[in-house]
Structure 1
């Protein structure tokens, strides 16, 4: 049954990552393309299914990410290695910022909320403690049924926090390590030449240079694995590319 566990883990990693980079990041935060309200609701549900217990509200994520771009590497940045002493401190500050935006306890300038997709009751349901516990219960059940050893239960925390783990790979490591294609007044870097791990998100320096660009690859030898899927969805009329 090991192959089932490997398949489940890989699918959860990449489907959750696709939901984040395609819908939350490129669509919700940057409006790199548009889609109908019906497809928008479809991808809300897609995010919930693929992210599970680590579901991130497209509305709160989109706002927080816009703030990140506006105040990169300053004390107003929701997540910056320059202002957090370690990785866990940054994750905790990001969590508090996200929760404050979601619950509308933090005042946000109107420029950061414009055209961000909002499905209020669904976001609150998907972010509830009960929903997160139910998803973790699904992961535990799956491993008890299919894992060849109970040692595999140690993977449960990764499944439970998949979204934040994806976020910290970029928000911490891609501001500390890697290469710089485009000199800017921030610490953003590219983690990989061919980004097979983060579905294009690893081209963080490229992205900070061209925030609304649909294809995060900008140099020869780079390949954004999410971009061909975006092109396919455009051809299928699911989305409309922004000019």
Structure 2
């Protein structure tokens, strides 16, 4: 089915760019790359997330704050300080917007080294561009949907990036198992992470914030994004850092 293939392609490309570029690169600097490749990854993130494009700069800064202040009142997105999932998502949006529009008072140490292609940051965040992406998704469904029920998937397309973040930031702080004792509620949401490209190994990641491989502590923990990083490193597109098992901050 064309629509199912389209949905899965959008889901996995979006989550792949979020975990590789926004999370492991922008926030944690687990690898390095040239400025040219950084711009290529910006474009791939723009294509992958489309209408829900997230600023790598704002994402990186906000995520660093999450690690530094997890499950405290200073955490940008903690279930401990939100009434429900949607309340947390709204608070995250407001926090993100403050950073995105340079209205924040966040210490400079959290902003060091984050990527910032100003033109793409502004272009990808324009409402006219977001609406254009949404129109493309809708036209694909009009052309290929075989039942009206499939149109219920469209809101997920529109908000793909924030949805991926909310799944981890809410559910992986409430449900799952732990491998390590940490100073917050981070858990490994899935025993085999086929949906989130390694992101659901949240407890592992909060214990070892600089480790590029989020899985690997139990036999069933396979991080699908890590072989991609190894391949990119072998192709000399990126350079994985070594000795990065410590937490980011």
TM-score bracket, normalised by the shorter chain, equals over 0.9
Equivalent residue for 2:236?
Answer: 237
Structure 1 stretches of 5 or more lacking a match?
none
Runs of 4+ with >6 A deviation:
none
Equivalent residue for 1:123?
Answer: 121
Equivalent residue for 1:220?
Answer: 218
Equivalent residue for 1:69?
Answer: 67
From 54, 78, 81, the equivalent of 1:80 is 78
Equivalent residue for 1:164?
Answer: 162
1:129-158 superposed Cα distances (whole Å, 9 cap, x missing partner): 111100000000000011112332221100
Q: CA deviation at 1:192?
A: 1.3
From 197, 207, 210, the equivalent of 1:209 is 207
| Contact in 1 for aligned 2:216/2:223 (Cα 8 Å) | no
Equivalent residue for 2:143?
Answer: 145
From 190, 194, 197, the equivalent of 1:196 is 194
| Counterpart Cα distance in 2 of 1:105 and 1:159 | 29
From 22, 31, 41, the equivalent of 1:43 is 41
| Counterpart Cα distance in 2 of 1:193 and 1:208 | 16
Equivalent residue for 1:178?
Answer: 176
| Counterpart Cα distance in 2 of 1:193 and 1:149 | 34
| Counterpart Cα distance in 2 of 1:23 and 1:72 | 21
| Counterpart Cα distance in 2 of 1:92 and 1:184 | 26
Q: CA deviation at 1:125?
A: 1.2
Equivalent residue for 1:23?
Answer: 21
Count of residues in correspondence between the two structures:
241
| Contact in 2 for aligned 1:144/1:150 (Cα 8 Å) | no
Name the SS of the counterpart of 2:239 in structure 1: strand
Q: CA deviation at 1:197?
A: 1.0
TM-score (normalised: structure 1): 0.98
1:87-132 superposed Cα distances (whole Å, 9 cap, x missing partner): 0000000000001100001122110110000011211110111111
Name the SS of the counterpart of 1:172 in structure 2: helix
Equivalent residue for 2:246?
Answer: none
| Counterpart Cα distance in 2 of 1:199 and 1:121 | 28
CA RMSD across the alignment: 0.7
Structure 2 stretches of 5 or more lacking a match?
243-249
